[in-house]
Amino acid sequence: MKVSAQAVAMWGKIAPSHSITAIMITDDQQTIVTGSQEGQICLWDLSSELKISSKEILFGHTASVTCLAKARE
């Protein structure tokens, strides 16, 4: 049986650089999600003052992330 796991990495004040190929904002307008040419998905906090700060980065894709979609209930 093959077992797979997704890696999640957190970072400090400086996020790793990546070439953004897709972008999405959540319905509550508090989180920006970006996909990159390197296959990463990054989550960013968006404050009410429109300041953006890094939140987390998701690894696991082996190709560029060219599209983002959100699930609805």
In the chain, where are the structural domains located?
21-68
- The predicted pLDDT at position 15 comes to 61
What token pair was written down for 18?
């990546």
- The predicted pLDDT at position 33 comes to 93
- The predicted pLDDT at position 1 comes to 58
pLDDT tens digit sequence for 19-58 = 888 999 998 889 999 999 888 899 999 888 888 888 888 8
**Cα–Cα distance for residue pair 28/17, rounded to 1 Å:** 25
Going through 1-73 in order, the beta strands assigned E by DSSP cover: 7-9, 20-25, 31-36, 41-46, 52-59
Question: Residue 4: pLDDT above 60?
Answer: no
